[in-house]
Amino acid sequence: MAHRFLTLTIADRIAVITLNNPPSNVLSTPVLQELDQVFGTMEAVDTVRVIIFTAAGRFFCPGADINELQELQRGHQGAEMSGRGQALLNRIERFDKPVIAAINGACLGGGLELAMACHMRVAAEGALFALPEVKLGLIPGFGGTQRLPRIIGPSKACELILTGESINAEEALAMGLVNRVVPAKDILPQAQVLAGMITSKGRLAIQSALRAIRTGLDSPLAEGLARETELFGSLCETPDKKEGTAAFLEKRPPKFLDH
């Protein structure tokens, strides 16, 4: 399938999706539609175990298309746009395959909301992060008011959302917004190293871990613990669990069969 705004490469069980919408990689409606299509395709490709999402050029993503925002004149129009964006980001967040954001530059507004929907974030030195929607008379509409407090805590999230001010990559790392900060030239290689560490593990264990984490974020502790127990028990019946424990005892690398 040909893509207008994205490039897709697959190698070593890792898919790299690159946003390429010059000059700044804004998230226009056509871009969001194409992202939804590509992520839908990746769900069905069994050979893909981890997805890296990054961008071409100087910017990761500055957010939504301001021209589209300016055209929103009715509440139902804004709600529809917000709902479409949230649906896509919810899909990414609920992927059973890990999604790593490789943030190569400015990550603002909807771009930061997209990055926060990914399971992990690797940032380039010099990258900036902000949810500046209040400067436009708006609030984040693609999940930013919900995900940012869950990631960095409500107090700091309030500061960033209510002021609209930016932070740098090192500040983002200190508050847990990103996992790693690396030189810009190493951003994709470092994301691939992280992805490779994951692909070396059994697919079923990775999938179950993501499901357990997701349940815990969405539910009271008791429900999260119950889901963990259920998933742990089901994994005990798999060939991968037998192989993993045997390999550990025999002091050799495991050869997971993914079933």
Give the residue numbers marked as catalytic. Answer: 113, 133
Identify the CA nearest to 207 among candidates 48, 83, 6, 77. 48
DSSP label at residue 64: B
| CA distance linking residue 56 with residue 196, whole number of Å | 22
Give the bridge partners for 7, in sequence order: 18
Distance CA 115, CA 100 (A): 8
Our CA dihedral for 118, 132, 37, 55, rounded to 10 degrees, sits at -70
Lookup: tokens for 248: 């550990």
Q: In angstroms, how far is CA 250 from the centroid of its own chain?
A: 36
Rg (CA), the chain: 19
- Cα 42 from Cα 188, distance rounded (Å): 19
Contact, 21 vs 65, CB < 8 A?
Answer: no
Torsion sign over Cα 122, 127, 133, 134: positive
Q: Which residues contact 148 (CB under 8 A, 6 or more apart)?
A: 112, 116, 131, 140, 157, 160, 161, 177
Omega within 30 of 0 (cis) for the link into 23: yes
